[in-house]
Amino acid sequence: MAVRLIVRTFSELCITAGTVIVLFVVYVLHWTGVQAESATAGQIATLEREWVERPVPGAAPSAPPSPKPYTTGRGIAVMYIPRLGEGWEWPVLEGTSAAVLKKGLGHYAATARLGETGNFSVAGHRRTYGDPFKDFPRLRPGDAVVLTDGTTWFTYRIATKPYRTVPTDVGVIDPVPRPLRKNAAAFDGPGRYLTLTTCEPEWGSSHRLIAWAHLDATRPVTQGKPPALAG
């Protein structure tokens, strides 16, 4: 009798554990994606509304106004990477906290502003929350990374194949990227750079995948989409 009770109790525990595991997998694979789709769409809509409501400038001032500092958790720009899919479109927000990365890509707060001299550095999930960088290893030299802040299109070009490193390799987001491995980056002086970072392996976080790019062209939004997106 006691043995039967133990076996039944153990079986019930296994069923319960199995149910919990299945629910967790569904949450990771599906529900976080649903949450991300809603959050990112909301962030892009907010940015586009702000851009439409932005006041039209009058006569050119004697000195251009200083740009407003980025606000943690607020949208900065929208990013497009044609290599990762025709509909690949993600908002870039200020900060790289877990809460921010649930809503889109995150800009490393200590790095350069979009389009300016230095290294505009961005992090994103490889998996979960919409899998923005799931296909990160597909990036190749020459690929376009296009961003807009509502007034200007910025087209960066990938300079190197994705580089695998460790989380402590913080030199990859320096103003001039300086990774641990010699000759891993193609940059040897000041410029207008972009660094993309994500987790490696695909379902882990023991390492990082890095891709560097340099600013190739800018274009006012009034002139339409840049060539990298026009096709």
Q: From the candidates 107, 126, 192, 199, which is the catalytic residue?
A: 199
Radius of gyration of the chain (CA): 22
Give 207's strand partners.
200
Block residue for tokens 């690949």:
88
Strands (E) across the chain are located at: 75-80, 89-94, 105-107, 118-123, 144-148, 152-158, 163-165, 192-200, 207-220
Q: Which of 138, 192, 208, 214 is catalytic?
A: 208
Strand partners, 146: 80, 155
Catalytic residue among 125, 126, 127, 192: 125
- Residue 158 CA to residue 180 CA, distance in Å, equals 19
Active site residue 125: yes
The runs of H, that is alpha helices, within 32-190 are 32-53, 98-101
CA–CA dist 18, 221 (Å, integer): 52
Q: Which two tokens stand for residue 20?
A: 């919990």
Residues classed as catalytic: 125, 199, 208
